[in-house]
Structure 1
């Protein structure tokens, strides 16, 4: 395999993939994430195949890579959930119907829609499913066929685009950006 023998890699994959799949699925409890992590694990193994000759237990090494990728995904998901909960706490649904609040809301919505129109259709769709329809990453994943991590990456890119199009300072966090816009 270290010499680039694809048949050897196929045998390695066939031998380890089922047990790695089970390990990762137990950790993530998400079939789409598990499939993506499995693919990424073996792509990483193949990309560094020259170094495998120096590794005493390549199977164990493969398990470690998969476990680390799964744990990274879980930590990222936990950070995202914490951020979403913080936003909800800081900006609860308001019933303030004052003229100023309505004007700010209209202005924000117009600028937001302009920024969204500049994005590819798939990014617009994922954003709207998440932010307007309130779907979770898992629900969006099921409806679009994209992995939860891909959904997350799309949303990060969309939010970055929106921040830049709304003229918000680049150093602001999402929470700070919302506060900056609504309290200027």
Structure 2
């Protein structure tokens, strides 16, 4: 989650007017938090830093749209979320898979209604793909991907072996890939799909 450090209203007003010192103050206050948030999904230091750079450049570009009376943290979080989402879309060969199912944030005004609809459509498709898994396999998948537990932690929690957890995950990923391929005609290579799951899509 992005840092909860507070930036004063005066600083936001200065940023809005193009004050570079105010921009540097905001960068110093939020860089680490945004980096950790994005890295949670990309798991790649270099790619994460590139996206962080994009986020701050976006903030500078649209600084005149900042409302000092509203939550700046939420504003930055939304920009970071969308930048990360677009990067993941590239990694999935342009297949829109919404990775923030449990952290729903409205899209930026610059996003088209069509893009928003497609994101929600794939989000729902992914949800049903996971729900179609057998109960135990679904439980293993959610614990590993949504809660971020290791195979050993899941094995201990469910009283099964780490090998069984691994088998469940392998079969779950294959089932979800097949489900989405049949329902939406997505052309996602198995390698790209597994990479997407590995970086925390759910």
TM range, smaller chain: 0.3 to 0.5
Higher relative contact order, chain-length normalized (CA < 8 Å, sep 6+): 2
Q: TM-score, normalised by structure 2?
A: 0.39
Q: Which has the larger radius of gyration?
A: 1
